[in-house]
Structure 1
């Protein structure tokens, strides 16, 4: 079984996945527009260039998403995409990259449970948590 986040966007899926690929050193392996599908005839022509399905690999993990039709879009709430990162420096880099033009909810910092932890909502309205676990034997820096 796999458990993969599937993100909904308000017409910005292509820009978001391009941005995420850069921030996360990922590779977009699939991106299909509404206009490229059999649904094109039932889709408004101004929505043909929007993404019906995108898939990106980050290491061996998959992130997926799509543009929601305008009458079905709802902003993300009640969840965060959690990234577990091994090194504090990489956690800080990814946090700073994802925070570009976004809103920092909790600045990335050392906590009692993590070498680094931070929370943000990115420029595409997707909430993220960045966590760099502390080893059981680690002491606060």
Structure 2
């Protein structure tokens, strides 16, 4: 098991990644924009979000961390938080961790298979810390 930071930049992700690349030598190893995701049956993408970064993985030294534009909430103000992304070794362990974190917390995305993973879910734990639990693809 390992835990990675997942930072939300509220619409400034591309700018931040460019800055970290120039100033710190960070390398974007994976990037997906919202327009590249399959259509969402639960709702339409808000206008102006198409070219925003849905997900990026960034290598900085020997660490790989993740980032996104998030929801681009105009009322959010500057950096409004982050989530920890816990990647488990297998689906059973991941679901176990997800359920443990959900005890006394609030599930924001139920545990489920997605187009990028056999299992993924999001939860704010009882202490107010956001977690994204996932299983890597084989």
Report the TM-score when normalising by structure 2.
0.48
The one of the two structures with greater contact order (alpha-carbon pairs below 8 A, sep at least 6) is: 2
Q: Flag the structure with higher helix content.
A: 1
Report which of the two structures shows the higher radius of gyration computed on alpha carbons. Answer: 1
Report the TM-score when normalising by structure 1.
0.47
